[in-house]
Chain A
Amino acid sequence: MLNNEPRGRILPTLVTLLVVGILLMTFDVRLEGGGVVGVLRTGTQTLVSPLQKGAAVVVNPVADMVDSLSNMAGLREENAALRSENAELLASIILVQDQLARLELLEQLYDLEAAGDELGRTVANVIGRPDAFDAALIINKGTSDGVAVGQPVVDTNGYVVGTVKNVTGGSATIVPITANRQALTVVVGDQIGTLLSVVGSRDMRLEVLDARDPVLSGDRVLTSAVSANYPAGLPVGVVVEDAAPSIDSLRSLVDPYVDPDTLRLVVVLAWPPDPVTVTQDDTVIPIESTTTTEDTTSTTLPGDG
């Protein structure tokens, strides 16, 4: 069955490469993706991302077309549902506009100023994924657009997608929450818990230590103010099974709102807020920058947070 030709240096080469590979894996695990490994990743992505961005210009319309063709049967139903949803949303917009006008009037009456709690947002296109087994997303915005490692990413509805893992000048890699080994601190009702990915499932496991009340199917799961990686109150998902506290903890499953496989557009949030530079006399000055590109706009506002 096997080729019996003289193998020469094949086997020593194989063994050497395997040893180097295993050493690299161990090194990466120990460094947790930082240090030299992080520099190597950033360097490689800097070299390859211009080619990926160029290819994405051609590829995205093709991908859209294939997606549309494969979903042809469901498109009519989806269109009808969207029309109905659109009508409802238009009604909601009118209601919100009324409320905004009322709010503005009240602010003028009471001489109030805006709290300035808007976060800087960078809208980015998903230009690719490494391969079928890596859930990471590659986006077309990087440090030159204000994106930084660790920043949270949401979809266009504001639902949590994940965090920025690597960033180059013009691109970044996003790790979705469903593929992240780190737990996400969330809040369900008034109880704080953690969300962890589940092997082989799209759902995530919710664990609430110090649980007092049950969680019910349909309860919304939001990011917690305790979380260091996300601003509070971002919608993450919905509880899919009822669970009652057992002694003082409970476990349930959460269906995340976002399916990373279907994302084409994401929003990177400038979090933690207040990116600052320190001048020579140690005066702290907020960074302010606004850039506009052809298809998207990225803005970093002063006084985020």
Chain B
Amino acid sequence: MRLPRGLIVAMILMAAVIIQTTLFGQLRIVSPDLVMLFVILLALTRIRSELVLGTAFLSGLLVDLLGSSLLGLRAVVFTVVAYIALRTRERAEIGRLATALWAGLLSLLGVLLLVLIGTLFGQSSLLGPDIVNRILIVPLANLIVAALFAPLFVRLVDGDTTALRFS
């Protein structure tokens, strides 16, 4: 028996939030943004686009609520990233490397937007001491995680074992 897709998505989102805030919260040298990556990879599934945007918004809101920065900041950023992911997802379906590069580039766009919008709204604390490193490391880490887990994620959400099987 297969679990409802909504439940699977919610469970993966919660797992991403917990792993990000605990494990990767402690390991500052390796810090992917798992929730942003979750939002990006959701665009590769067969979930309706409007629902992907809604899920992206709620995922961002959840991270905002768990942190100390501005409420709605990540919600806006993740929604924009999800929209661009939906518009460009065909580029990611070429192969595993393309998927990883696509996810990495979207993550880079996401962190740049986060810093830009955050700064406009007075969140100067986002620009911490090693901001350049973080702007580069987060997308790079997301790229690696996407290369490893993107096909598995899509198959799990869609319940289709043939999804993203690159020849």
Contact = CB atoms under 8 A, between A and B. Distances in A.
Given A17-B75, A18-B76, A29-B70, A128 B54 contact: no
A200 B128 contact: yes
Nearest to A1: B88
B78 to A, nearest CB: 9
Given A133-B114, A133-B115, A166 B68 contact: yes
Contact of A41 (B19, B65, B76): B65
Interface stretch (B1-9, B24-32, B143-151, B152-160): B24-32
Interface stretch (A56-64, A74-82, A105-113, A219-227): A56-64
B25 A138 contact: yes
Interface in A83-101: none
Contacts of B127: 199-200
Interface string B38-77: 0000000000011001100100111101111111110110
B102 to A, nearest CB: 12
A132 B33 contact: yes
B89 interface: yes
A261 B88 CA distance: 36
Given A55-B22, A136-B67, A179-B128, A261 B72 contact: no
B125 interface: yes
A27 interface: yes
Contacts of A173: 66-68
B138 interface: yes
Interface string A196-233: 01011110000000000000000000000000000000
Q: From DSSP, what is the main secondary structure of chain B's interface residues?
A: helix
Contacts of A24: 61, 71-72, 75
A127 B53 contact: no
Contacts of A166: 68
A281 interface: no
A37 B71 contact: yes
B76 A130 contact: no
Interface of A: 1-3, 7-10, 13-14, 17-18, 20-25, 27-29, 33, 37, 40-41, 44-45, 48, 51-52, 55-56, 59-60, 62-63, 66-67, 70, 126-136, 138, 165-166, 173, 175, 178-181, 197, 199-202, 261, 264
